[in-house]
Amino acid sequence: MTLIQIFRRYIPDNEISSVIKFFHLEACGGHFSSKKTTAKILQCGFYWPTMFKDSHAFCKSCENCQKVGIDQKVLLYNSRLHLFPRKLRSRWSGPFIVKHVYSYGAFDIENPKNDNVFKSFSNPGQMADNGTP
């Protein structure tokens, strides 16, 4: 029988907020949900007993994560790059209207041109406010 052990670095209380901040906001971040932020922390080998609760509290207090609201007009970032001779372009599409925000980070988005509603898993860093109606 093979026993596989996973070693994790225990994070002391005075470093918890900086670790969460790094994985949620900084280079590793992207304003993802608390579950995804915690998963990224675990994947990198860190641990502390209240990490799920602490990560959830941090994400709930993140100003950028709380900005998207119902009936707000937003632009979505199209991450596919389009290559043309001598040009490298990325583009924003929309505006779309946010119809519902799910607790796990997804959004129901309505296209006002044809009233189609679709689900977007974009994070607030990939959305731009286009003014409110």
pLDDT digits (tens, 9 = 90+) for 23-72: 888 766 677 778 888 888 888 889 899 999 999 898 888 877 766 666 77
pLDDT at site 87: 59
Yes or no: say if 100 and 70 are a contact pair by the CB < 8 Å rule: yes
CA distance 100 to 78: 21
Edge to edge, the sheet with strand 87-101 lists 116-120, 107-111, 87-101, 73-84, 127-129
For residues 84 and 43, give the distance between their C-alpha atoms in angstroms, rounded to a whole number. Answer: 38
Q: How confident is the model at residue 60, as a pLDDT?
A: 82
What is the per-residue pLDDT for 28?
A: 62
The secondary structure element, H or E, covering residue 126 is none
The model's pTM: 0.52
Q: Tell me the CA distances in angstroms from 103 to 35, 60, 112, one per residue in order.
A: 11, 10, 24
Q: For position 14, what pLDDT does the model report?
A: 93
Query: Nearest CA to 43 among 51, 65, 89?
Result: 51
